[in-house]
Structure 1
Amino acid sequence: MFSAKLQERLKLLDEHLVCWNDHQFVLEEKKEQGEAELILELPDPGILFSRLEDKKLRYFKNQKCADYLLYKYKGNNWEMHIFELKRTIGLSQWEQIKEQAKGAIQNGMAIAGFLGIEICLDRVHLYSAYRNDKINDFANPGKQRYQMYKKASPEYKEKECDWNKQLIKLDFLGKREFLHHKIRLNPEDGRGSYAIA
């Protein structure tokens, strides 16, 4: 359960965009080209901010932002979990997701300040939920040959390796690496579920 002070601050927020004190949340992307639904299971209470990309603070230079922000209370500490839902992830989308993550972190830190909760950058987790992985999987043989040619470049190798690691390079406020979790959705309907430990 959250403190009385935090509950008072939560009451000041739009209940259509924020839900809290739940152990299951549904994250949705309704755009037709990237329609998705992810069910999150949490063992601990959380606060979910939806439509973050539409409601971000305008003071920051980086106006890119991820789709969802979740604060999870575990033990006596708060964690920040940032979610981006995409239909397909290729190298250009991966670079975009990283910029959106930076924007979400800065907005998440500002919201945490309003809520009076402390977030340590070591407790920030990033998630990419997707149907198709174009960095590793290629269905079209012509594209396969083209990708094999491209993969020889050092720049491609670095980005590809970054996507395939759990600690990704993301320079933000002196922290150089963040935990990243890939969530594969059903390729047919874009649905999936994920349990956060």
Structure 2
Amino acid sequence: MDERIEFVKDNLFLPDYFSDNQTLYDLHERKESGKSVLKVTLNSLDNLCIEDFDNSKKCGFFKQDREFGMQKSVDHVIFQNCSGNCTLHLIEMKKTVGSETFKGVKRKVRSSYLNALAIAVALGITITQTIAYTSFLKLKFDTEADTNSNPQIYKPMLGERAIDVKKDEWDKDLMHINLGKTITIRHYPIQMFDSGEEMTGDLDLTST
């Protein structure tokens, strides 16, 4: 890993802010209502992982009120290929996903994306692409009550245009994020499986 990254990580960040470098991470959601583990495989140790990013310290200059959702973050963040053209992976873990849930995920992705960019600049990492993921056991897009007659399903978040998040984003592996203008990032659903005690799933990043 680049010397600048190593120095800043080891000396200027909080102790244990990043997980120990591995090529296989077991990323957990520990809430009883959605207890799960996602096994993430990478192709080299040139990566940094922040587990439980939602409960980790982040940039204090962002507003923490609920209006734009900057007080919440995704569950886990991975910087892959830190010393080169880095890919930022933003991972949110859910049990059930529907329209309103996915809108909440988008808020978390926006917050996490901006915080991760700031972290990357501090470390000297150049992010060239960003990919978001939502792990899930069940979908409820098509079963939400009164989907066709309920205007709340299509109500946009503040400053955004009204879209059908299932048809225009989830089904197309895309996510539209409002930053004054819309930026579009790749978004991939991760199907989880119920093992009885917890949900389990895999994310292979070796070819990313």
Say whether the fold is shared (TM-score over 0.5).
yes
Partner in structure 1 of residue 34 of structure 2: 34
- Please give the secondary structure, in 2, of the residue aligned with 1:66: coil
- Out of 70, 80, 94, which is 2:88 matched to? 80
Q: Which piece of structure 1 moves more, 13-22 or 45-54?
A: 13-22
Report if the CA contact (8 A) 2:51-2:75 is conserved.
yes
Query: CA separation of 1:19/1:134 partners in 2, compared to 1, >3 Å: closer, same or farther?
Result: same
Q: Structure 1 stretches of 5 or more lacking a match?
A: none
1:5 aligns with 2:11: no
Instruction: Check 1:24–1:175 CA distance in 2 against 1; reply closer, same or farther (3 A cut).
Output: farther
Q: Per the alignment, do residues 58 and 154 of structure 1 end up closer, same or farther by CA in structure 2, a change over 3 Å counting? A: closer
Q: Distance in 1 between matches of 2:38 and 2:191?
A: 10
Q: Deviations over 1:137-195 (max 9, x none)?
A: x5xxxx6xx45644899938712212211122222364521100110111342111110
In structure 2, relative to structure 1, the CA distance for the partners of 1:25 and 1:15 (3 Å cut) is: farther
1:3-62: CA deviation from partner (whole Å, max 9, x where unpaired): 122111121334533125321111101111111100100113310012211222231122
Larger proportion of strand: 1
> Quick one: which of 62, 66, 73 aligns to 1:60?
62
TM-score, with length taken from structure 2: 0.79
Query: TM-score, normalized by length of structure 1?
Result: 0.84
Matched, 1:115 2:123: yes
Matched, 1:181 2:180: no
Uncovered stretches (5+) of structure 2, i.e. residues with no partner: 64-69, 156-162
Q: 1:181 and 1:46 mapped to 2: Cα distance?
A: 20
| Number of corresponding residues | 187
Change (3 A) 1:176 1:186: same
Q: Tell me the distance in 1 between the aligned counterparts of 2:192 and 2:40.
A: 12
The SS at the match of 1:111 is helix
Task: Tell me what 2:137 maps to.
Answer: 131
In structure 2, C-alpha distance between the alignment counterparts of 1:20 and 1:172, rounded to whole Å: 33
The alignment-based identity, stated in percent, is: 20
Distance 1:40 1:173 in 2: 33
